[in-house]
Amino acid sequence: MTVVALPKRGFIDSLPGGPAVTQGLAWARRYPLLPGFVLLFVLVIPAIFANQIAPHDHRIGDLDLVKRPPAWIGDKIVEQTVVQKQDRRVARQGEITLSSATRRMKRGTATFLEGGGDGTVDVGDKLRVVIRQGGTWTYPLGTDKQGRDILSRLIHGSRVSLTVSVLAIALGGGLGVILGLLAAYKGGITDTLIMRLVDIKLAFPSILLALVLVAAWKPGLLTVIIVISVLLWARYARVVRGEAISIMNRDFIDRAQVAGASDWRIMARHIFPNLMNTVVVLATLEVGHVIILESTLSFLGAGIPRPTPAWGVMVADGRELIVAAWWIFFFPCVAIVLTVLSMNLMGDWLRDKLDPKLRNI
Amino acid sequence: MATAQGEVILEVNDLRTYFYTRTSVVKAVDGISFNLRQGETLGIVGESGCGKTITALSLLRLVPKPAGRIVGGEILLHGEDLLQKSEDEMRRVRGQKISMILQDPQTSLNPVFNIGNQLMESLALTHKEGRKNLFQRAVESLRDVNVAAPERRLEDFPHQMSGGMKQRVVGAIAMSLEPDIIIADEPTTALDVTIQLQYLRLLKDIQARTGLAIIFITHDFGVVARMCDRVAVMYAGHIVEHGSVRDLFNDPQHPYTQALMDSVPKLEEKVDRLYSIEGQPPLLWDLPEGCLFAPRCPHARDKCQEYPPTFDIKEGHTADCWRLDPSW
Amino acid sequence: MQRYILRRSAQGLLAIIVISMVVFALARVTGDPTQVLLPDEASEEQILQTQIEWGLDKPLHIQYFVYIKRLTRGDLGNSFKWAGVPASELIAERLPATVQLSAFALLISAAIAFPVGVLVAVKKDTGIDYAGKMVAILGQSAPSFALGLILMWVFAVQLDWFPTSGRGGLSHMVLPGVALGYYNVAALMRLTRSSMLEVLDTEYVKLARIKGVSERRVIWKHCFRNALIVPLTYFGLIGAVLITGSVVTETVFAWPGLGALVIEAILARDFTVVQAVVLLFAFTFILINILVDILYAYIDPRIRYS
């Protein structure tokens, strides 16, 4: 008959999935600590202090240490029998040609298992061959095909992502806010024109538009920023217009008009501040989108040009070595996914906090 | 209105249905007992949120999951406890033994299927026969609820029908498998007054023809007087008074029943204003100790801090109120 | 209904015209196509000759009208890069591959998203629901090229279940199909879940249960069709996602379709081909949207009769 306060382990916890999942998810919703932490350490700090943090020069590699795996991966060793075949491609698995065996012996990446009593390599000898050397802690995430440190390149790559997201969102968001305000405030033909333009823009696949635009100009950081901001404005314009119209129906706007304030002044001083939350939430939600766009363009060769270590470029570099050296494509992928994921979680959290009605856009 | 003398077909003992939220337990139905005889109509009356609908859904074991659970008691249908049945067995009880008419005809029909489809779906559960026969049966069940030109109506979609027509169709669906018991959950609240009367008459006619038992859920004592043989008054998950319509109307014992009666405008009296019960029904997740009506009761005393037992007033008339205690 | 379709078609046509103008303008503003056509050391005369040959000496708007006139006769112009091969021929050659892959991707996304969406709705607030949510969030955070490569690495390189790239039998289609369809799966699944939850809570579902209809039938007959309405509106967007995706996924998996073609053309500044493919994509996209609206009216009779 009275309220029975449930003990901590109640009915919900007895559901399949158990307390860990429910508690964990609820916790992650309430405190965006983990995503914030990831963002700070994957995106912001590396971007700002790239020169101080990066352990190696991201531009110049060590050609003696190309395609080194990450530190925790050991030598890859196989047993091979020496055979008399000239072309090493002809040798079957478990076999090694005489010439390459001799070469490896000299470099010290092969040792005798059987035979070799005379110190030279003969057909029929069994060798223990290190076909791939393990990683070292000097290059924690390994090196690429030019021997460049992947970690250092990732750190410098975060600069690209951060710069592009901040500038593109500032530019595109700014444009969208202004157009949205104009559409809402002026109404009539201005409104119709702007909103038609928004419809057409939203009806067009982003990547395709971006590709056409980038190809029309020259690939580069500035082009990418401008192109992405062109992709972003429409959504801002639509949301801001809707919000602004509802704000304008409140009477303080009428009062300002009666007081003789100019149109721009009313927009800037009276309407815009009321839109701040919406704009901030939209901006956060868009960062992930921008990072995906930028890295996709770079991956396709239509974004940031080499040798700038944009994450997308790094993935493109690693793509051809996917069989021999997975770490080259894999770590940049992880960096992108982690950043975007954290940003999305962060955006969700911020939206719920500041502007829950944005939930359905 | 003589008390029906048919055999007892449904017996509910100490039924409890609770809802579990993250922080508390809501006792929507907290230990109610009643029985139902063949051919009679039992009214369950109370304000909204008092647990009437949850009682009905509990009888069908359709309490919203996973929050709601039936935590205790028994529901004996022809002597068999429904709470012990498997989900499969339960499915054969629904529609065939106990059926229900929901409150809002506007939303109780599926908008994407036509009427025939929805009627024949339930008919097909017991009648394993061809489409043609099912169609005939569907036509007949629509005719039973006085739908004109049923053949054509079967092709219609719900949004093409009026509210009253939809509620007849819902009735036809509920009745189509010839259940022993129909639960009617405020079936007329969403209808116009004239249509309401038609509908109630229809229910009575069907009952007279088939001898089914009706549990009539309502908040309207006027409807109770017209429809029911016996009444159970519910308040905050409990049945606070229970008796024949005559007893309850002539001699209401629980202050809540009295208050409800007073709130019904009487035709013969000139009323200046409608009487309403002061205060709000308690929040089910924040129930007071003791008698649940005490905070709104004009007679409340210290004794009401303890929940009263059920007192017999006379044969078949009981109430939960300390005022019936000789020591009051 | 007919008027509605007509109006939608008119809107679509307008959008295509605007898109054709934008693409046309971009192609011409950004430098002389003769640079692509001729070697760097070409003489003035040669350049002039080529300009006349390709009609590039006329004012821009004339060029546009000529382009449109040809377009109406089905002439999309000749490629710069592939030595004067008509763009329509290039498209015809690549189109089947893209259609095949997109259809397959659509099929798997629908085949996965709808049942799983229903499942997580029915199992709301259980471990299955949370797992589904996590996978969806994680997937939507991965750009399609990253997802494609990771799939390729795990299932083609490490496990050797599927070929890494190229077009061939069904096994060639699995990885690119999943990579292309994945984004839709996540979004569709979430939409199906939420609209399913809404429908599960309605009175008519309650009535179906009261009738004694089996739970499976309640879910698949009474709920699913109603719940489908919202995710279906999303199918228009899927067109965009598939087009966007095909550009990236075809590049990742060396799938010889239109997406890969447009990338090659863009990188080679072959604007005839770019124009042609972009127009085709835009047209497809708008067509899908109109078709979805019609389908929508079919599923929901309330729309059909109004």
- Cα–Cα distance, A315 to A330 (Å, whole number): 7
All residues of chain B having their beta carbon less than 8 Å from the beta carbon of residue C227 are: none
C268 in contact with A at a CB cutoff of 8 Å?
no
The residue ranges of every structural domain in chain B are 8-97+179-324
When mean pLDDT is compared across A25-29, B117-121, C173-177, the lowest value belongs to A25-29
Q: What does the pLDDT look like over C66-77, one tens digit per residue?
A: 888 888 877 777
CB contact under 8 A, C267 and A333: no
Pairing verdict, β B213-218 and B181-185: parallel
Q: Provide the chain C residues 287-306 that lie in CB contact (below 8 A) with chain B.
A: 299-302, 305
- Residue type for A27, please? W
C75 in contact with B at a CB cutoff of 8 Å?
no
Nearest by CB to B23, which of A1, A2, A6? A6
- Work out the angle at residue A227's Cα, subtended by the Cα atoms of residues A224 and A230, and round it to the nearest 5 degrees: 150
- Cα–Cα distance, B133 to C226 (Å, whole number): 28
Whether the model clears a pTM of 0.80, i.e. scores above it, the answer is no
Residues B200-221: what's their mean pLDDT?
Answer: 88
When mean pLDDT is compared across A75-84, B10-19, B219-228, the lowest value belongs to A75-84
**Per the CATH hierarchy, to which homologous superfamily does domain C1-306 belong?**
MetI-like (1.10.3720.10)
Half-sphere exposure of A160 (CA within 13 A, CB side): 32
The residue ranges of every structural domain in chain C are 1-306
CB contact under 8 A, C203 and B104: yes
A308 lies in the same domain as A239: yes
Residues ≥6 apart with Cβ < 8 Å to B197? none
Note whether residue A23 is domain-resident.
no
CB contact under 8 A, B289 and A15: no
All residues of chain B having their beta carbon less than 8 Å from the beta carbon of residue A8 are: none
User: pLDDT value at position A4?
Assistant: 37
Partners for B (CB, 8 Å, 3+ pairs)?
A: A, C
C198 in contact with B at a CB cutoff of 8 Å?
no
Q: How many CB pairs under 8 A join A and B?
A: 31
Partners for A (CB, 8 Å, 3+ pairs)?
A: B, C
All residues of chain A having their beta carbon less than 8 Å from the beta carbon of residue B293 are: none
User: pLDDT value at position A240?
Assistant: 87
Residues A218-239: what's their mean pLDDT?
Answer: 87
Note whether residue A63 is domain-resident.
no
Residues C172-181: what's their mean pLDDT?
Answer: 86
Res. B230 pLDDT band, cuts 50 70 90: very high
A22 in contact with C at a CB cutoff of 8 Å?
yes
Half-sphere exposure of B280 (CA within 13 A, CB side): 6
A122 lies in the same domain as A206: no
Q: What is the DSSP letter of C18?
A: H
- Cα–Cα distance, A45 to A51 (Å, whole number): 11
CB contact under 8 A, C214 and B91: yes
Distance from CA of B281 to the nearest CA of C (A): 25
Please check whether residue A295 is in contact with residue A315, taking contact to mean a CB–CB distance below 8 angstroms: yes
> C-alpha distances in angstroms, C262 versus B139, B170, C15, C195, C287?
61, 58, 21, 37, 20
CB contact under 8 A, B111 and C301: yes
Distance from CA of C98 to the nearest CA of B (A): 35
Please check whether residue C141 is in contact with residue A341, taking contact to mean a CB–CB distance below 8 angstroms: yes
Please check whether residue A117 is in contact with residue A102, taking contact to mean a CB–CB distance below 8 angstroms: no
Chain C contact probe: residue of A333, A340, A344 with most C CBs at under 10 A: A333
- Cα–Cα distance, C67 to C87 (Å, whole number): 13
Res. B3 pLDDT band, cuts 50 70 90: very low
Residues ≥6 apart with Cβ < 8 Å to A133? A68, A75, A109
Q: Which residue of C has its CA nearest to B98?
A: C210
Distance from CA of C194 to the nearest CA of A (A): 12
The domain that holds A252 is classified in CATH as 1.10.3720.10
When mean pLDDT is compared across A91-95, B61-65, B276-280, C149-153, the lowest value belongs to B276-280
Half-sphere exposure of C214 (CA within 13 A, CB side): 8
- Cα–Cα distance, C214 to C217 (Å, whole number): 5
Res. A8 pLDDT band, cuts 50 70 90: very low
Residue whose C-alpha is closest to residue A156's, from A84, A248, A57: A57
- Residue type for A79, please? E
Does pLDDT of C23 surpass 80? no
Residues B304-314: what's their mean pLDDT?
Answer: 85
Does pLDDT of B260 surpass 50? yes
Does pLDDT of A21 surpass 70? no
Beta bridge partners, A59, equal none
Q: What is the ipTM of this complex?
A: 0.78
Distance from CA of C124 to the nearest CA of B (A): 9
Note whether residue A8 is domain-resident.
no
Residues ≥6 apart with Cβ < 8 Å to B154? B114, B115, B116, B119, B135, B138, B139, B142
Note whether residue A49 is domain-resident.
no
CB contact under 8 A, B22 and A10: yes
Nearest by CB to B24, which of A1, A6, A15? A6
Q: Which residue of C has its CA nearest to B172?
A: C211
CATH topology of domain B8-97+179-324: Rossmann fold (3.40.50)
Note whether residue A94 is domain-resident.
yes
- Containing C187, the helix (H) or strand (E) segment is helix C170-200
Note whether residue A312 is domain-resident.
yes
Token couple for A50: 């790239």
Indicate the number of domains in chain A.
2
CB contact under 8 A, C247 and A207: yes
% of chain A at pLDDT higher than 90: 7
Q: What does the pLDDT look like over B11-36, one tens digit per residue?
A: 999 999 988 877 778 888 888 999 89
User: pLDDT value at position B75?
Assistant: 92
Answer with the residue of higher pLDDT: C292 or B194.
B194
Give the residue numbers spanning the domain of A260.
150-359
Does pLDDT of A2 surpass 60? no
Q: What does the pLDDT look like over A124-148, one tens digit per residue?
A: 777 777 777 777 788 888 888 887 8
Q: Which residue of A has its CA nearest to B236?
A: A1
CB contact under 8 A, A207 and C244: yes
User: pLDDT value at position A170?
Assistant: 93
A220 in contact with C at a CB cutoff of 8 Å?
no
Task: Return the CA Rg of chain B.
Answer: 21
All residues of chain B having their beta carbon less than 8 Å from the beta carbon of residue A5 are: 23-24
Q: Which residue of B has its CA nearest to C223?
A: B110
The torsion region of residue B31 among left (phi > 0), alpha (psi -120 to 50) and beta comes to left
User: DSSP labels for A268-304?
Assistant: IIIIHHHHHHHHHHHHHHHHHHHHHHHHHHHHTTSSS
